[in-house]
Amino acid sequence: MERAKIYYDFIAEFDCVYLINGAFNEKARVITYPAASPLYVTVLPLKALLLPYTVKLAGGKVLSNAELAVSYEVADGHFAVRLAERHNYVYSPACVQSLNPRGGRECRFYRAVKAGDFAAARKMMTAELSESASDDDLAEFFAPYADIIENRFADLSGGFFLINKNTSRGEAFDFVLSGDKISDIRERN
């Protein structure tokens, strides 16, 4: 005789959210489900390094991705499902390449200054700007910022946002170009 309902409790040792049969759930604690129906649980890690995956369960048994999910029957009709982290197992130079920051000259310039590579940064500056700003001036100017993001919002001004490391808010800036060199950096109000 088959039980009418099964109770699942999902345990993940990492921060994640779930799609349970397509419905978003921040927590998957004590899910009641018909015993004869398959249950699909997609685990969405909140850490970029980890990969999402889907587990199919039926009658308390794991039917897919059994290497990532283990179901324990803790009482009659009650299952605790332990979910493991899923990592990227395959090495690919393309994947490593995608982890490197992208961006045009302005982003490379910012990153060179933040890394203390002033020689590389100066190669991207006009002679006039390079002469008027010391290495210390450049370092001090960019010190309050944690990142640079190109502005892709049509309704916002400024070509780039420098992200303030104290507030995590973007401040709009334009990099003025003369030919292929940076001749000025202006804050947008």
Range 111-123 average pLDDT: 95
Would the pLDDT of 92 be above 70?
Answer: no
In 84-154, DSSP assigns E strands to 145-150
Instruction: Tell me the pLDDT of the chain averaged across its residues.
Output: 85
Residues 64 and 51: beta-carbon distance below 8 Å: no
Would the pLDDT of 101 be above 60?
Answer: no
Rg (CA), the chain: 26
Per residue in 5-16, pLDDT (tens digit) is 888 989 887 999
Collect all residues with Cβ–Cβ distance below 8 Å to 127 and sequence separation of at least 6: none
